[in-house]
Each structure stands twice: as structure tokens, then as C-alpha cells.
Amino acid sequence: MKNTVVVLAGPTAVGKTALAIRIAQQLGTEIISADSRQCYRELSIGTAKPDAAELSAVPHYFINSHSIREEVNAAMYEQLALQYTADIFTRHPVAIVTGGTGLYIRAFLEGMDNMPAVPPAIRTAVREGYAANGLTWLQETLQQRDPSFYATAETQNPQRLMRALEILEATGQSINTFRTATPRNRDFRIIKIGIQLPKELLHGNIVKRVDAMMAAGLVDEAASVKEYRHHNALQTVGYTEIFDYFDGKLRIAEAVEAIKVHTRQYAKRQLTWFRRDAEMHWFDAREGDEVLKWLEQQV
């Protein structure tokens, strides 16, 4: 049988971790995370990282693998995930990849465009500009200076916008100039599974998750990494709002509500991304048994 990668994708708080563990246990294999934040050792509560019991149930890769002081990006993930799968394939014919970072999943399955290097000073200036002026500044800057990119961009995603602005500042050219439409061929079979929930249930899960994060000590975790707040790893939902609380821009109740709102918006962007993939087989997240039955027929 040809080696196979099973991708389990979906929005935040939909239940990917638990289902991925069930699948891995049934198939007797291991899990590669495709979450751009759970790789950081210093970030656990705000990233909804799998707990100790979950991590011990099945071997996991790309969790607690890096420090927030390190630069981690999709191109690096592509190479790491290929190494992880090659390792897993020496023991098992199937590997599980699960997460909600669509760009990382695409990089692994299709390859990344070769982007030019960005000098650290430019990266720092862009991130400081965003920290000082917010998302609107990014949107207006790119709409004016790189309209071709902005016309099809994820305009609510600050990471994507900052990356485009960095490339523009470093090269004077649009990030679109460096993109190709030719995916690489991988030497393994790919099965893509998407899981979703009715909107009201997903939003309920998000509320419960954020409340649980606060109870577990998200404020203390954010305080412990505050000195690194301008690093890429911390330009993200759950931490930027708490930093605003530290700065006196928000009361704590407002920060918590902002995390819930921004997480819902992020989940919507994730679903939009994954639904564009015609190869994705969709299931209700509550129908784990159906997923397992269907997958047995595929592998």
C-alpha cells in the first residue's frame, strides 16, 4: 500500500484534537500538528495545546518543539513536516496531520513559493507599526501600495498582511510577484477530512474555551511572555487582547469579550479557507464514528 497522509482540518474549537487521537489510535500511527502556535513551548493556555494525557496517548510532532524567540514560518513547516512523515513512514504506512493553520497544511501538501529574505529591521518595523496603529493601518497601507494583492487578500488576517508588507518594503514588489501556481508532487497519497459544527454550537465551544483559558491562567501566561510581545508568535488572538489590558486600553472583561469575538472571526476565516478545497471530505464533528468508518474504507 502506498504511504498515506490523512489530513484532519477544521476551525478552532471544533474538536480536531480528540478526533485525531481516535483516528491515530485506530490506525496505530502518530500525529503531526499543523497549528502555527502550538509549536511554542512558552504558549500553552492561549493556544489550547493538547494536555499531557492527550500528548501521551499518541506521539505528537510540532508541539513544544520551538521557542517564541525562534522564527517559525510555513516554509520551515513544510520541511519539518516532510521530515516527520518520512520518519513515521519507517514505522507506519499512514501519518495523521491535524490543525487549523491552512497555510501550513498547504505548504506541506503542495510546497511553498520561494520568497525573498526580509531583513530583520524591516520585519521589526512592520510589526511595531501594526502594534502601534492596528489592523486598519495595515489594510489602508496595502490597499494603497499593493492593490493587486489586497484585492484578493484575507484582509482581516494581520499575519498575512504583515507578511505582504514586509515583502513590499524589502523588494519594492508585490508578494504576488513571487507566487507560482504549480504545486509540488508528493510521493504519498493524501486524504483530506474537514470537520465542522453548526455555527451556534461552534460559537458555544469558543465561549467555553475562552472562559476555561481565563480560569487556567491566561493572564499570567501572557505576562510571562510580555517582553516578546512584538515577536510573530504573539501577534495572535488571545495574547494581543491581554496585552491591550496590560496597557490600559481594555478592561479585563472587554479583553475577554474581544478574544471571543476575534476567535469567532478566526474560525470563520479558517472555514472559508478549507471550504475552498474541493478535495476536502466534510463531516459533522459530532460524527466521529462515521469518520472512522469512512476512513477505514479509504485506507
pLDDT tens-digit profile of 205-262? 999 999 999 999 999 999 999 999 988 889 889 999 999 999 999 999 999 999 999 9
Q: Residue 136 and residue 85: Cα distance in Å, rounded?
A: 40
Residues of the chain with CATH 3.40.50.300: 4-112+182-298
Number of H helices, E strands in the chain: 12, 6
In the chain, what is the straight-line distance between the N-terminal and C-terminal CA atoms, in Å? 9
28-53 pLDDT, tens per residue? Answer: 999 999 999 999 999 999 999 999 99
Q: Give the global pTM.
A: 0.86
Predicted local confidence at residue 181, as pLDDT: 63
Question: Whose CA is closest to 65, among 54, 82, 53, 81?
Answer: 81
Is the pLDDT at 104 greater than 90? The verdict is yes
Is the pLDDT at 276 greater than 70? The verdict is yes
Is the pLDDT at 1 greater than 80? The verdict is no
Of all residues in the chain, the percent with pLDDT exceeding 90 is: 81
Residues making up the binding site for substrate: 12-17
Q: Residue 157 and residue 222: Cα distance in Å, rounded?
A: 21
Residues making up the binding site for ATP: 10-17
Residues of the chain with CATH 1.10.20.140: 120-178
Predicted local confidence at residue 165, as pLDDT: 95
CATH number of the domain at 120-178, please? 1.10.20.140
Q: What is the mean pLDDT of the chain?
A: 94
Predicted local confidence at residue 202, as pLDDT: 98
Predicted local confidence at residue 4, as pLDDT: 98
Question: Whose CA is closest to 95, among 84, 110, 80?
Answer: 84
Please give the backbone phi and psi of residue 189, each rounded to the nearest 5 degrees, phi first: -75, 150
Check if the beta carbon of residue 30 is closer than 8 Å to that of residue 59: yes
CATH number of the domain at 4-112+182-298, please? 3.40.50.300
As a whole number, mean pLDDT of residues 121-144 equals 92
Predicted local confidence at residue 125, as pLDDT: 93
Residues making up the binding site: 10-17
Predicted local confidence at residue 21, as pLDDT: 98
Is the pLDDT at 265 greater than 70? The verdict is yes
Is the pLDDT at 172 greater than 70? The verdict is yes
